[in-house]
Copies of this chain bind each other. A is one copy, B any other.
């Protein structure tokens, strides 16, 4: 497999009802790469400043993540600070300092250009296209985005959506992007722009896959404590594409499994701050919770007797 992941790499200050952490590893590409690295090697593209701790780079490399594409630029690393209240589905941003990320110019090392699996995490949709233009023959391209780009670069985003296979969004983003109050109709509209599948991320409430008329839905994994939801969506995406890239199969069966793997990885990730739970994530840990997930949602088909029929 060859899996390329491009996105943000940053240092986060996070406060939740369970505690706080400062200057911890964050960013969409960090979470997604670490999550995916459980399934094989990852080619990472991102930018950090000269202040980025070398220990993080070493940690990524130890997980089999290729950091050739990790640019180090004069200046400071991207920083985000925020907090969560009891409703962990809602992040409250206190500050966003783009720093070197403001001038991110994602140039792919030659080795990366033959990547078959590509995750375009949430960055400017123009940069997402710039990355795509450098990849010669991708088998699967997944795009994530956020409300910021829907507001500021909607046409660019729709253009980029036309070039990808799967779009990852949450319910509010689908509604905002399509103007459809019904997420089902919204997802269908996004499909009409090009992607062959849309995955709706629902945070604590799971995820739903729309692929043509085919729908798959998974509830959230019930957790006693959600310690830090930062990176949940990117952990999901990393687990999802990592699993598919290992499997080298895009059948409906595999997509459903991949969504369950992604949800599993996300549920493990949010039980600790930052990347603590996924920096050493073992596939046995994923497999055990995946089995619990299977049992969680299983119910038997119905044999209704025709008493009143």
Contacts and interface: CB of A to CB of B under 8 A. Distances in A.
Contacts of A192: none
Contact of A299 (B182, B216, B226): B216
B294 A309 contact: no
B294 A218 contact: no
Residue among A206, A282, A309 facing the most chain B CB atoms (10 A cut-off)? A206
B181 A17 contact: yes
A307 interface: yes
Contacts of A215: 222, 296
Given A17-B181, A286-B304, A308-B39, A297 B216 contact: yes
Interface stretch (A20-28, A150-158, A251-259): A251-259
Contacts of A223: 182, 184
Interface in A69-125: 86
A306 B284 CA distance: 9
B302 A225 contact: no
Contact of A218 (B184, B282, B297, B306): B297
B182 A225 contact: yes
A181 B17 CA distance: 10
Nearest to A1: B307
How many copies of this chain sit in the oligomeric assembly? 2
A211 interface: no
Contact of A306 (B40, B86, B283): B283
A133 interface: no
B309 A284 contact: yes
Given A287-B304, A299-B257, A304-B286, A219 B205 contact: yes
Residue among A39, A181, A260 facing the most chain B CB atoms (10 A cut-off)? A181
Contacts of A286: 304
Contact of A291 (B64, B220, B259, B302): B302
A146 interface: no
A54 interface: no
Given A283-B308, A304-B286, A309-B284, A181 B86 contact: yes
Given A308-B38, A309-B282, A184 B302 contact: no
Residue among A253, A284, A294, A299 facing the most chain B CB atoms (10 A cut-off)? A299
Interface in A190-210: 202, 205-206, 208
A284 B307 CA distance: 11
B283 A309 contact: yes
Nearest to A299: B256
A74 to B, nearest CB: 36
Residue among A218, A223, A305 facing the most chain B CB atoms (10 A cut-off)? A218
19 contacts: A39-B308, A64-B308, A182-B224, A182-B226, A183-B222, A184-B222, A184-B224, A185-B224, A202-B205, A208-B222, A217-B220, A218-B219, A257-B299, A257-B300, A283-B307, A283-B308, A287-B302, A287-B304, A290-B302
